[in-house]
A = this chain, B = another copy of it.
Amino acid sequence: MHIKINHSVLSDALKKVEKVVNAKHNIPILQGIYMEATNEELIFIGSDSNESFRFHVPVDGENVEVYEPGKTVLPKQVTETVKRFKKDITLKLDGFTLLLQSGRSRFNLNTFAPEEFPKLPDFAIEESTLFLKGTDLSNLIKKTGFAAADSEIRPILTGVCLDLSGDCMQMVCTDSHRLGKVQVRNTSDRDLKFVIPAKSLDKLNKTFDLQEDVHIYCESENQLIFRSGSLVFYCRLLEGTYPDTSRLIPQDFKAEMKINRKVFLDEIEIIRGIANNADNGQGGVIKLHVNGAATISSYTAQTGKGESVVDYESLEGEDNFTISFSGKYIVDALKAIDDEFISFKFNGEMRPFLLTPCESEYEELQLVLPVRTQ
């Protein structure tokens, strides 16, 4: 391999794929970044065996010149070094030694044998199973992923369930205390269901370009491939059956309160601050009492009590009720909604309640289970 490449093109390519590379991976070759030069393109791959990024850079004779095709696996430290270069970079492979030169800096780097780097599955780039706008995928992730369980007690709950059925594509996520759900139009002609690790979706969300469409390829049962332009993300799926969440969501309500989302959120955060040192992992318990206005309050024996009043826009149904819930869960749910007003749908003080936007381009809801208080 012998190539010349613009320093920021190389730096950008390495940064795109290194997000999944673990410098302490117990398979040494996965500590490196795979790089292949053909006469048409450069291919970069970073992998931790469960997740992989692949990025393509075209050979344009200007930013990238290939004198001799070839492949190698670079040590991860190259990324840090290349980032600091200010001039074009020449890379030349001599056996297992990579000669890297830029300006008056020269490196002889030990590389790994590229044949030993795990192969990524092939897929037909034109034949995606479905696609959606980058901004839509990002919003779907934002409105569901946070509700995934942190702990591995029930591994399936660390994932987000993507369900394609008829006209409807649904993403749903629950840690069994709260649930986020969004539906958009299904662009696939197949009925499919997978559970994607929430952490993988988060990584994807931080790396993909929101301006580009995202194509999703479903070639095998245990892996999903996402593509945005020249960047491809391979993600291993979670095994197991996702719980049926449809029966959890109430359809009728005793009361529906329309309230300004931002004002409600701000006041909850003020009241929650006081309860924060008595943290039970739920970020303090908040009590909501509705009777002419929405009164939010919190009490901890150690700090004292706080109370704040927010006027609602409208209220239908029961006009005097009380419910207690986790401060963290309601704050997360309110932040996942974008609309100016939300509808707070109450169904009894020991029943889950819903938060939905009053207007949204998505069919979406947030469900939170109440906290039992005396």
Chain A contact residues, CB within 8 Å of chain B: 23, 75-78, 80-81, 84-85, 97-98, 103-110, 266-267, 269-271, 273-274, 276-277, 302-310
A33 to nearest B CB, angstroms?
13
Min distance, Cβ A17 to any Cβ of chain B, angstroms: 18
Rounded to whole Å, the gap between the CB of A285 and the closest CB of chain B is 15
Show 10 residue pairs from A and B whose CB-CB distance is below 8 angstroms, ordered by the A residue: A80-B273, A80-B276, A84-B266, A98-B304, A104-B310, A105-B267, A105-B306, A106-B306, A107-B306, A110-B302
Our pick among B23, B81, B270, B304 for the contact of A105 (Cβ within 8 Å) is B270
Chain B CB count within 10 A is highest, among A23, A85, A305, for A305
Take A104-B310, A310-B104 as given contacts and tell me if A304 and B84 are in contact as well, using a CB distance cutoff of 8 Å: no
- CB distance B308 to A109 under 8 Å? no
**Among all A-B residue pairs, the 9 with the closest Cβ atoms:** A105-B308, A109-B304, A80-B273, A81-B273, A107-B306, A104-B309, A110-B304, A84-B270, A108-B304
Do A308 and B77 form a contact, CB below 8 Å, given A23-B277, A85-B270, A270-B85? no
Which residues of chain B are within 8 angstroms of A271 by Cβ–Cβ distance? Answer: 105
**Known contacts A270-B84, A274-B81; A107/B305 CB under 8 A:** yes
Find out whether the CB atom of A276 lies under 8 angstroms from the CB atom of B77.
yes
Q: Is the CB of B84 within 8 A of A273?
A: yes
Q: What is the minimal beta-carbon distance from A358 to any residue of chain B, in angstroms?
A: 23
A109 touches which one: B80, B103, B270, B303 (CB < 8 A)?
B303
Task: Point out the residues of chain B lying under 8 angstroms from A75, CB to CB.
Answer: 277, 302-304
Question: Of B97, B107, B266, which one neighbours A307 at CB under 8 angstroms?
Answer: B107
* A335 to B103 Cα, complex, angstroms: 23
